[in-house]
């Protein structure tokens, strides 16, 4: 039986669930290409950044998850080229290039942080999209308290004890709430020269509302709860500059001001993967303002029925950039493909079932919007807890997460407070190296021979020649 080669780009929600949805097909061979070795549960990144969870708890190995799925293979590498006519995907890791041919392509490369044209802000205000981001932020947050303890001048101490979170969406609210809990609860007895309860935590947004996607009532509840926790909520205010010692802002009246702050967190704006541009250039697809690919109702790329785009990279019917859209989209794409392979009518249109959304504010407090129901407080928090445990992948991950949550929510501790100088310094050094000077894998003699692996490469050559 001839196998149908599916290449999946990305090991996030779309890529992983799409691959798993094809597991029973003996006539399909899936190659998942991703730039990290793990599947990342992004909704809990803020807990890694604030010392509640270890990075391993939210990023199980993709290879391990797919170990029993015999028709799936995992390739590590950043996709640097997609050729829709030749039907190949080229990926690269440490200078080693791999070309993988496909019959069907599923692209789920997600989205990165957007600094709205000010990418230089990233050096001083990291976003929160990856494990590296979360560990860097952990280093900056806990490191700031350490520096404040050492400070000799009051202004310097205040700068270290001022935390600015930009973006009042779910991630910003969760971060601000957790930093407030750290300052007021967790760290309160640990220092001698400073009172951590004096820390200023500022949640700032250019929009006039907190959690706008949750509606006025829940947004209002979240704002009230944050204010009670000591978070200063500053709305309608734009960030116009970020540097190592502070942040420049412009108020709604157009006045400029500055907040002296050592630790800034960027939780505003997303930009879809640059692979979207590559797909648009080779098809009839257009991109929206966030760089997302405008797909057909069946999630295929306009003019390319053999390419699906799902999750944060895809634009369809104003669907939000949330995990369920990626999961359901990927499962739909797999179903669509299976029907095509079986010569059966394919389900015509992807329709999203909204299971609701929620955001935590502090321990025991969250907001939830499920169907027509809107609620906040402890009940919403319990629901948040249950759903996150269900969707965390891996038994080990669930058990360790539950234990860590008991430590942090019932007690007042944080078991993942380890920070190292490398979390910040090494990353900044790597950022400053031009891509051509980045380390490459050493070339060994045998590498000059035509490589037998990956198997799929040889098949591509045969196909191209034929
Ligand atoms: C901090 C944070 C909190 C969130 N909280 C929630 C929440 O509470 N609830 C919710 O529903 N959603 C939440 N989301 C959104 C949710 O995580 C995303 O909508 C979802 O991850 C999208 O899935 P995806 O598969 O499209 O992309 P991702 O999950 O981002 O996966 C993209 C994958 O592509 C890989 N990749 C990217 N570029 C390349 C390349 N060039 N080559 C190879 N691989 C590549 C990445 O490494 C990754 O594996 C949150 C997101 C963030 C960042």
Nearest Cα residue to atom 49 of ligand 1: 11
The tens place of each residue's pLDDT in the chain, 466 residues long, gives: 689 999 999 999 999 999 999 999 999 999 999 999 999 999 999 999 999 999 999 999 999 999 999 999 999 999 999 999 999 999 999 999 999 999 999 999 999 999 999 999 999 999 999 999 999 999 999 999 999 999 999 999 999 999 999 999 999 999 999 999 999 999 999 999 999 999 999 999 999 999 999 999 999 999 999 999 999 999 999 999 999 999 999 988 899 999 999 999 999 999 999 999 999 999 999 999 999 999 999 999 999 999 999 999 999 999 999 999 999 999 999 999 999 999 999 888 999 999 999 999 999 999 999 988 999 999 999 999 999 988 888 778 888 899 899 888 888 889 899 999 888 888 888 888 888 888 887 766 555 444 444 444 444 433 332 2
CB within 6 Å of ligand 1 — which residues? 9-15, 33-36, 42-43, 45, 78-79, 108-110, 128-129, 170-171, 273, 275, 311-313, 321-324, 326
Distance between Cα 393 and ligand 1 center (Å): 15
Atom 29 in ligand 1: which residue has the minimum CA distance?
A: 12
Q: Which domains does the chain have, with CATH numbers?
A: 4-35+77-113+271-341 (3.50.50.60), 119-267+363-422 (3.50.50.100)
Residue 440: the pLDDT is 84
* Cα–Cα dist 60/392, whole Å: 9
Query: Would you state the pLDDT for residue 298?
Result: 97
Rounded CA separation 195/212 (Å): 34
What atom in ligand 1 is closest to the CA of residue 128?
A: 1
- 99 CB neighbour count, 10 Å cutoff: 16
- Which ligand 1 atom is the nearest neighbour of the CA of 39? 49
Mutate to test the pocket of ligand 1, among 9, 110, 309, 368 (most ligand atoms within 8 A of CB): 110
Q: What is the pTM of this model?
A: 0.93
Mutate to test the pocket of ligand 1, among 134, 322, 331, 388 (most ligand atoms within 8 A of CB): 322
Nearest partner of 85 among 276, 306, 308, judged by Cα: 306
Distance 333 CA to ligand 1 centre (A): 17
pLDDT for 439 equals: 82
310 CA from centroid of ligand 1 (Å): 11
Closest protein CA for atom 33 of ligand 1: 10
Q: Compute, in angstroms, the gap from residue 256 CA to the centroid of ligand 1.
A: 35
Active site residues: 174
Own/partner pairs, 279-288, CB within 8 angstroms, 24+ separation? 279/82, 279/84, 279/107, 279/304, 279/307, 279/309, 282/82, 282/83, 282/84, 282/85, 283/84, 283/307, 287/315, 288/315
Residues 6+ apart with CB under 8 A from 260: 155, 158, 159, 162, 245, 246
Atom of ligand 1 nearest to the CA of 15: 25
Q: Whose CA is nearest to atom 5 of ligand 1?
A: 43
Atom 50 of ligand 1: nearest residue by CA position: 43
- Best residue among 8, 94, 109, 361 to mutate for probing ligand 1, ranked by most atoms within 8 Å of CB: 109
The residue contributing the CA closest to ligand 1 atom 31 is 12
Whole-Å CA distances, 342 to 17, 202, 276: 21, 56, 29
Distance of CA 147 from the midpoint of ligand 1 (Å): 33
Output the CA 161–ligand 1 centroid distance in Å.
31
Is-contact 89 447, C-beta < 8 A? no
The pick from 323, 384, 389, 435 for probing ligand 1's pocket by mutation, whose C-beta has the most ligand atoms within 8 angstroms, reads: 323
Give nearest CA residue, ligand 1 atom 4: 43
């Amino acid at each position: 039986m001839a196998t149908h080669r599916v290449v999946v780009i990305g090991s996030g929600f779309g890529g992983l669930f799409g691959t798993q949805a094809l597991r029973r097909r003996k006539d399909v061979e899936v190659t998942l290409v991703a730039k990290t070795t793990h599947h990342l549960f992004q909704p809990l990144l803020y807990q890694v950044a604030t010392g509640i969870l270890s990075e391993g708890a939210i990023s199980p190995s993709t290879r391990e998850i797919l170990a029993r799925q015999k028709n799936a293979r995992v390739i590590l590498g950043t996709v640097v080229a997609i050729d829709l006519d030749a039907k190949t995907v080229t990926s690269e890791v440490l200078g080693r290039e791999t070309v993988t041919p496909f019959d069907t392509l599923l692209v789920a490369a997600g989205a990165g942080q957007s600094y709205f044209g000010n990418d230089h802000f990233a050096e001083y205000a990291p976003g929160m999209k990856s494990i590296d981001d979360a560990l860097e932020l952990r280093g900056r947050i806990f490191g700031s308290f350490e520096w404040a303890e050492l400070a000799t001048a009051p202004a310097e101490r205040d700068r270290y004890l001022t935390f600015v979170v930009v973006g009042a969406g779910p991630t910003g609210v969760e971060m601000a709430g957790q930093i407030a809990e750290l300052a007021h609860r967790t760290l309160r007895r640990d220092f001698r020269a400073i009172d951590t309860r004096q820390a200023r935590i500022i949640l700032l947004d250019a929009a006039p509302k907190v959690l706008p996607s949750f509606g006025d009532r829940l947004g209002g509840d979240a704002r009230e709860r944050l204010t009670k926790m000591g978070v200063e909520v500053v709305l309608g205010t734009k960030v116009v500059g970020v540097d190592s010692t502070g942040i420049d802002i412009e108020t709604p009246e157009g006045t400029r001001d500055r907040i002296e702050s050592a630790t800034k967190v960027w939780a505003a704006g997303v930009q879809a993967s640059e692979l979207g541009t590559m797909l648009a250039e080779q098809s009839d697809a257009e991109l929206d303002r966030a760089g997302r690919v405008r797909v057909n109702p069946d999630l295929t790329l306009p003019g390319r029925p053999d390419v699906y785009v799902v999750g944060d990279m895809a634009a369809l019917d104003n669907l939000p950039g949330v995990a369920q859209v990626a999961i359901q989209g990927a499962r739909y794409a797999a179903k669509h493909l299976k029907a095509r392979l079986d010569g059966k009518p394919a389900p015509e249109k992807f329709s999203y079932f909204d299971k609701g959304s929620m955001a935590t504010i502090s321990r025991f407090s969250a907001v939830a919007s499920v169907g027509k129901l809107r609620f906040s407080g402890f009940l919403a928090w319990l629901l948040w807890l249950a759903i996150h445990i269900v969707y965390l992948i891996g038994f080990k991950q669930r058990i360790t997460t539950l234990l860590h949550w008991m430590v942090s929510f019932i007690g007042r501790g944080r078991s993942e407070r380890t920070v190292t100088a490398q979390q910040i310094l090494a990353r900044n050094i790597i950022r400053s190296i031009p891509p051509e000077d980045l380390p490459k894998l050493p070339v060994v003699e045998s590498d000059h021979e035509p490589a037998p692996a990956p198997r799929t490469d040889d098949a591509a050559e045969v196909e191209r020649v034929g």
